[in-house]
Amino acid sequence: MTWRVAEVVNVVPQTPRVKTIAFDVFGWPGHRAGQHVDVRLTAEDGYEAQRGYSIASVPDGTRVELTVERLEDGEVSPYLTDGLQPGDRIELRGPVGGYFVWEPAQGGPLLLVAGGSGVVPLMAMIRARAAAGSDVDTRLLFSSRSWEDVIYREELERLGGDGLTVVHTLTRSQPPGWAGYDRRVDAEMLAEVGPSPAELPGVYVCGPTPFVEAAAEALVQLGHEPHRVKTERFGPTGG
Amino acid sequence: MSPIISRGFRGRRDDAPSDRVPPGQYVTRDFPVLSAGPTPHRPLEQWDFSIVGEVDEPRRWTWEEFRELPSEEVTVDIHCVTKWSKLDTVWQGVSVDTLLDGVESAAEYVVQFCDGGYTANLPVDDVTGGKAWVVFAYDGEPLEPEHGGPARMLVPHLYFWKSAKWVRGLRLSATDEPGFWEVNGYHNYGDPWQQQRYWGD
Amino acid sequence: MDALMLDGNAVAGLLQEVFAVEMTTAIETCNRCGGTDRVGALHVFRGAGIVMRCPHCDNALVTIVEDGTRVWIGFAGVRTLQVTV
């Protein structure tokens, strides 16, 4: 598993803090939904920084898309979202991961629980599901700060239906007339969104560590078998 | 394969006079939180600090007793083996010389032991003679748990993994007992000015 | 619960570089509590080096130190590791 050169194709804003960067990666072997890449940046004097980012896109030749949230005091994310231009080059290692992965052949039902930018690998799963023409019962419970911060908002609206249910909770501010959830994910919300433990869903939880810890604990409390609840934690150190 | 340079990437680091920065280090104004394990939360009424091992008799201080010992403010540069250095950090603590005052021991080595099980080993010479403290405040405030509070070791002339967080005591020993990182790849001594980071350096 | 804690997914690339196989699906047995978990589910801490801990009992299972050329991997807390090759 070696470092590959990745060249920026374009940078597309998604929300005020989030952009999707499309790369062309020579020799890219393809990937599975949920996998990530390690990104390595090297400065002219040799100073180096590495972070992991989930792959957002479905396999498409040498094209790899990463959706990155700019962290206010981040060292790498502001460079990716604001410093990169088409033609710039970074290094990627990957695709990596086999534990936090979903393939259409695995079937469902599926419960996907996303906290903020934790939606990225889950969106890769949703896109893989759509590309395969799957109608497996899939429920996305998606926590965001506000309506403006919902990543992939329009695409999720379009993809809804055909067995895909998208439920939002907006924790800091809500648009006028909002009738949806407005609090942090908890056991009651997870029970309402379902599926129930008896249906033996595959469960994937992704987001910042405190979010994942709270959601995973609630899911186990509800009766979901711990080994069926797969987790991926994002952190300020960029892992 | 030599790495690809990313145009315009600089990373977050400061300029600093090179005579204060050991080779291979970068200066930061942040205070990165690095930890080998979960943050312990030991209530002060359950905390004590001990000197044990090859000593005439063990010493032990409760938190109140420890805080009654003479302490001093020290300003030092600290150097983490992960390449960041932080200059002019200000701490308040009890000198290890004070803790070892009156302790009779022929031991040449010491092991720092901690809540959570972390250990770090040193020659006794490297914690005496004004080179080491058990500190309980940073930058004028009580030491935060994520930075090692209520008390941690401060041994600034060596890489910072030799300054154990959540320290609970020192065990004096005739033999050198490599600690948590020393058995797992990091250098047994750890002098930043000689870049003694890893085994064999 | 430490907000900075991550999980085995965070070291997947490094482990695969060393072991040449995908490691997050490997199953370890903790030699302290007997708990079994996928490497991807282990709790990961970044200190001077990386420490992977048992999610049930916090036992330090694996340590990883690297200098750019050498990687030191300690398995002090792992009784067995089951890998699919």
B168-194 pLDDT per residue, tens: 999 999 999 999 999 999 999 999 999
What distance in Å separates the CA atoms of residue B96 and residue B151, rounded to the nearest whole number? 13
Mean pLDDT of C5-13: 95
Local structure of B103: helix, strand or coil: coil
Give, in order, the Cα–Cα distances in Å from B159 to each of A132, B177, C65.
53, 18, 15
- pTM to 2 decimal places: 0.94
DSSP string of A5-29, one letter each residue: EEEEEEEEEEETTEEEEEEEETT--
- For B25, the token pair is 């280090």
Query: What's the confidence (pLDDT) of residue A237?
Result: 54
Query: What's the confidence (pLDDT) of residue B108?
Result: 98
Other chains touching B, judged by 3 or more CB pairs under 8 Å: A, C
Mean pLDDT of B33-57: 96
Best probe of the C interface among A233, A234, A237, by most C CBs < 10 A, is: A233
Best probe of the B interface among A91, A92, A93, A209, by most B CBs < 10 A, is: A91
Find, among B113, B155, B118, the residue nearest to B134 by Cα.
B155
Query: What's the confidence (pLDDT) of residue B12?
Result: 84
Task: Tell me how close the Cα of B67 comes to any Cα of chain C, in angstroms.
Answer: 28
The answer to whether A47 contacts B26, with C-beta atoms less than 8 Å apart, is: yes
The answer to whether C63 contacts B37, with C-beta atoms less than 8 Å apart, is: no
Find, among A224, A33, A31, A235, the residue nearest to A122 by Cα.
A33
Confidence of residue B21 (pLDDT cuts 50, 70, 90): very high
Chain A's closest residue to B83, CA to CA, is: A47
Task: Tell me how close the Cα of C85 comes to any Cα of chain B, in angstroms.
Answer: 27
Contact partners, residue A18, CB within 8 Å, separation at least 6? A67, A68, A69, A70, A81, A117, A149, A151
Answer yes or no: is pLDDT of B98 > 90: yes
Mean pLDDT of B24-40: 93
The answer to whether A99 contacts C5, with C-beta atoms less than 8 Å apart, is: no
Task: Tell me how close the Cα of C17 comes to any Cα of chain A, in angstroms.
Answer: 5
What distance in Å separates the CA atoms of residue A101 and residue A204, rounded to the nearest whole number? 9
Please state the ipTM of this predicted complex.
0.94
Nearest to C72 among B36, B81, B185 (CB): B185
Nearest to C67 among B36, B161, B198 (CB): B198
Other chains touching A, judged by 3 or more CB pairs under 8 Å: B, C
Mean pLDDT of C21-34: 97
Across all residues in chain B, what is the average pLDDT?
A: 96
**% of residues, chain B, pLDDT over 70:** 100
**% of residues, chain B, pLDDT over 90:** 93
What distance in Å separates the CA atoms of residue B144 and residue B136, rounded to the nearest whole number? 9
B106 close to A (CB below 8 A): no
Task: Tell me how close the Cα of A226 comes to any Cα of chain B, in angstroms.
Answer: 21
Question: Which residues of chain B make contact with C77, given a CB cutoff of 8 A?
Answer: none
B31 close to A (CB below 8 A): no
The answer to whether A237 contacts C46, with C-beta atoms less than 8 Å apart, is: yes
Answer yes or no: is pLDDT of B124 > 60: yes
C40 close to A (CB below 8 A): yes
Answer yes or no: is pLDDT of B103 > 60: yes
Query: What's the confidence (pLDDT) of residue C1?
Result: 65
Task: Tell me how close the Cα of A50 comes to any Cα of chain B, in angstroms.
Answer: 11
Predicted confidence (pLDDT) per residue in A35-76, tens digit: 999 999 999 988 999 999 999 999 999 999 999 999 988 999
Chain C's closest residue to A53, CA to CA, is: C10
A235 close to C (CB below 8 A): yes
The size of the A-C interface in CB pairs under 8 A is: 82
Q: Are B33 and B146 contacting, i.e. CB atoms less than 8 angstroms apart?
A: yes
The size of the B-C interface in CB pairs under 8 A is: 67
What are the CB-based long-range contacts (under 8 Å, 24+) for A81-84? Answer: A81/A11, A81/A17, A81/A18, A81/A19, A81/A21, A83/B8, A83/B9, A84/A8, A84/A11, A84/A21
The answer to whether B1 contacts A3, with C-beta atoms less than 8 Å apart, is: yes
Query: What's the confidence (pLDDT) of residue A239?
Result: 32
How far out from the chain centre does Cα B90 lie?
14
Nearest to B4 among A5, A49, A75 (CB): A5
Question: Which residues of chain C make contact with A233, given a CB cutoff of 8 A?
Answer: 5-7, 9-10
B11 close to A (CB below 8 A): yes
The answer to whether B117 contacts C60, with C-beta atoms less than 8 Å apart, is: yes
What are the CB-based long-range contacts (under 8 Å, 24+) for B96-101? Answer: B96/B127, B96/B128, B96/B131, B96/B132, B96/B133, B96/B134, B96/B170, B97/B128, B97/B129, B97/B130, B98/B69, B98/B70, B99/B49, B99/B51, B99/B59, B99/B69, B99/B134, B99/B170, B100/B51, B100/B128
What distance in Å separates the CA atoms of residue A139 and residue A45, rounded to the nearest whole number? 47
Best probe of the C interface among B152, B181, B182, by most C CBs < 10 A, is: B181
A66 strand-pairing partners? A21, A55
Query: What's the confidence (pLDDT) of residue B16?
Result: 74
C41 close to A (CB below 8 A): yes
The answer to whether A42 contacts B10, with C-beta atoms less than 8 Å apart, is: no
Which positions of chain A have pLDDT values less than 70?
237-239
